[in-house]
Chains A and B, each alone.
Chain A
Amino acid sequence: DIQMTQSPSTLSASVGDRVTITCRASQSISRWLAWYQQKPGKAPKLLIFTASNLESGVSLRFNGSGSGTEFTLTISSLQPDDFATYYCQQYNSYSRTFGGGTKVEI
């Protein structure tokens, strides 16, 4: 199974900060990677698909990049609504895997 490792697990930041979250795959997944945002008690929300494609309606503050085994999610200027937990997910095969999550807190 493909393992996904996210870092950091927790990130402390302030409004206006630029933040970067990293996701590493245990083997190449080409660009078959998605990023999700989840708030407490809610279902996850798709932000980015195919590594760098912004889902419709998602703020341009969010940017995804990478290919192969290393990927990043960057939030250009953190807003109060962005404090949440972020997950990466690979879908290179019919077996999917999520990263462990990154909690972005104040």
Chain B
Amino acid sequence: VQLVESGGGLVQPGGSLRLSCATSGFTFSTYNMNWVRQAPGKGLEWVSFITTNSGLKSYASSVKGRFTISRDNAQNSLYLQMNSLRAEDTAVYFCARGDTAIDYWGQGTLVTVSS
């Protein structure tokens, strides 16, 4: 099982960024997926969840209305569109597999929101 995030980088406050997660080694279309983030020196924060067929999506209150999770089962990929970014969104973003508990994690991609 491999989860590889990409798309992180430096962005100005108010800007947008799209994260991607390429997966392999398992049947992506049969697993619910998550995004989890970790601000520098801080704890883990769950960000978003999506079911196998994209029928249900949920978000942490801190990102609701600004972030959108999506997936492409044909491409075995997970995405996170992040708009109206704020300094407090600065974090390492992890792609994470898990219908319930999270059993596999990517290594993360760093998003820095700063002017």
Contacts and interface: CB of A to CB of B under 8 A. Distances in A.
B106 A43 contact: yes
Contacts of A36: 44, 102
A43 B94 contact: yes
Interface in B71-109: 94, 98, 100-103, 105-108
A71 interface: no
Given A1-B61, A43-B108, A98 B46 contact: yes
Interface residues of A, number: 23
Contacts of A38: 44
A87 interface: yes
Give chain A's interface secondary structure class: loop
Contacts of A55: 103
A86 to B, nearest CB: 11
Contacts of B101: 34, 46, 49-50, 89, 91
A96 interface: yes
Give chain B's interface secondary structure class: loop
- Chain B contact-residue range equals 20 to 34
Contacts of A91: 98, 100-101
A43 B45 CA distance: 13
A44 B100 contact: no
Residue among B34, B44, B46 having the largest count of chain A Cβ atoms under 10 Å = B44
Contacts of A32: 100
Contacts of A43: 94, 105-108
B93 to A, nearest CB: 11
Interface string B9-30: 0000000000000000000000
Given A1-B61, A95-B60, A46 B103 contact: yes
